[in-house]
Amino acid sequence: MTLVVVYNPVCGDRTAEKFFNEEVLPRLKEQGKIPDKVIATTHPNHAGETIVELLKQTTESLTVILGSGDGTLHEIATSLHHSLDRQVQSQVAIVLVPCGTANALYSSLFPSQSDDPSYRLKSLNLYLSPSPTSIVLSSATTVVHPSQPGGDTRSSVAIVVASTALHAAILHDSEALRSSHPGIERFKIAAQQNITRWYHARVKLVPSHEHESVELYDVSRRSFIAVTEEGSIELEGPFTYFLSTVNVDRLESLFRIAPLHATLPSRTPALDIVIVRPLRNPTINDDSEGSRLRFAEQGGIVLGGAYRDGAHVNMIYGSDGSVGSEENSGQSVVEYYRCGGWEWIPDRDDEHARFVCVDGEIFNIEAGGKATTSISGNIHGTQLSIFA
Ligand SMILES: Nc1ncnc2c1ncn2[C@@H]1O[C@H](COP(=O)(O)OP(=O)(O)OP(=O)(O)O)[C@@H](O)[C@H]1O
């Protein structure tokens, strides 16, 4: 078993190095765990390059004590995906020490809020315990397809989120705010900048396996139901929100956008997909400036529900277009699907519908192109797991 320590000194509030020197490395030493390497990343994708290189040199499984946010783990997953020349089936076990801004994966696995340093050592303490437990991580591979055969195809792997519409626009715009607003408030500012926009696209949702069906959460039954006998389904836009998650029920400790990942867990690797389509509101009949302004308020209510422990998934329209819960009898405000993959085919002339976010990495689909995402339990044979 090869043991490496990798931390990103610039992620989050830039305290990873101090935390590793003061808390993590001494604990490993105390327990007689001597890392084969200790690496502070010096450039983007350094962590991914390191792990791929180590896997080429050994047939042993690898344990990585990783001090980072979600972005660095995403780089590792994507590097594994791109290193197609690897010959061996391998195992990479991650001990995650959250050092990033949002830490979506860590706060989903350990959902309590605390500034106490011991909160950040939960995965490490499990790894060092006499009976460590770990879970296998699923991965979602997104491929951005060109408009013409033979064009440039790009791909990337999400461990947390693959999205389009508002979330992708927020991530795109928030990057420009990173230096002025290093904390999570930059996401709220970017959300305000985009809240009135509608995104024009068609979506295909694909089941995990050929003879399965796409599932939709039924608010009244509080459970998933099969949408069709079997096969894929298509949804027409416009959309305001289109986001799929993998391995997580939240994107920050309090923003629980996909709560059913935890409360109604899937037995097999699956994508949880949260969709808002404004024309489901019974009082919104057209795609006009007025409708968009009116609906923006509801967009705020939906996202507010995510901050109230995921309450948005049970919101129902009243006949007057108001958003409520039990007392209303209309359609659900949010469509919450569970399936194996999706295709997003943006309208040619809607440039804002062409952003795709894969764990914070932003892609621009060319006019006439599309993006597809599919779930898997491993990355080209490499199984990623995490002590949790
Ligand atoms: N030495 C370095 N200099 C500059 N960038 C680096 C360096 N090392 C790693 N990076 C980059 O830092 C980026 C941010 O890291 P990461 O996502 O782990 O933290 P974060 O964005 O603060 O947290 P989160 O993803 O949880 O919001 C990564 O995309 C990685 O490419």
Report pLDDT for 378: 93
Distance CA 160, CA 146 (A): 24
Closest listed residue to residue 81, CA positions, set 159, 163, 148:
159
Q: What is the pLDDT of residue 179?
A: 83
Q: For residue 272, what pLDDT band results from cuts at 50, 70 and 90?
A: very high
Residue 115 in this model has a pLDDT that exceeds 80: no
pLDDT score, position 223 = 96
Residues forming CATH 2.60.200.40 domain(s) in the chain: 139-376
What's CA 120's distance to the chain center, in Å?
20
pLDDT at residue 296 in the model: 93
Is 343 strand, coil or helix? strand
pLDDT of residue 250: 98
Which band of pLDDT confidence, cut at 50, 70 and 90, is reported for residue 183? Answer: confident
The domain 139-376 having CATH identifier 3.40.50.300: the answer here is no
- Supply the ipTM of this predicted assembly: 0.95
Residue 211 has pLDDT above 80, yes or no: no
Task: Kindly give the interhelix angle for 70-82 and 46-57, rounded to the nearest 10 degrees.
Answer: 50
pLDDT number for residue 1: 86
Q: Is the pLDDT of residue 327 over 80?
A: no
Q: Quick one: average pLDDT of 61-69? A: 97
Q: What per-residue confidence (pLDDT) applies to 29?
A: 97
Mean of pLDDT over the chain? 93
User: Does the beta carbon of 267 sit less than 6 angstroms from any atom of ligand 1?
Assistant: no
Ligand 1 atom nearest to CA at 361 = 29
By CB atoms closer than 10 A (0-12, 13-18, 19+), residue 215 is buried
What is residue 87's predicted lDDT score, i.e. its pLDDT?
54
Please give the number of the atom of ligand 1 that sits closest to the Cα of 103.
Answer: 26
Measured between alpha carbons, how far is residue 364 from residues 194, 204, 247, 308 in Å? 17, 19, 25, 32
Query: 2-137+380-387: CATH homologous superfamily?
Result: Probable inorganic polyphosphate/atp-NAD kinase; domain 1 (3.40.50.10330)
| C-alpha of residue 314 to centroid of ligand 1, in Å | 35
Question: Best substitution site from 64, 68, 177 to test ligand 1's pocket, by max atoms within 8 Å of Cβ?
Answer: 68
118-174 tens-digit pLDDT: 999 999 999 999 999 999 999 999 999 999 999 999 999 999 999 999 999 999 988
Regarding the beta carbon of 69 and ligand 1, being less than 6 Å apart is answered yes
pLDDT of residue 85: 65
> Residue 62 in contact with residue 6, Cβ under 8 Å?
no
* CA 257 to ligand 1 centroid distance, Å: 23
359 lines ligand 1 (CB under 6 A): no
Instruction: Calculate mean pLDDT across residues 97-105.
Output: 94
Give me ligand 1 centre to Cα 104, in Å. 14
In this model, does residue 261 exceed pLDDT 60?
yes
Average pLDDT over residues 357-379: 97
pLDDT in tens, 26-36: 999 999 999 99
List every span in the chain annotated with CATH 3.40.50.10330: 2-137+380-387
Q: Is the pLDDT of residue 388 over 90?
A: yes
* Strands 215-218 vs 223-226: parallel, antiparallel or unpaired: antiparallel
pLDDT given for residue 116 in this prediction? 86
Q: Which of 171, 198, 201, 200 is nearest to 186 (CA)?
A: 171
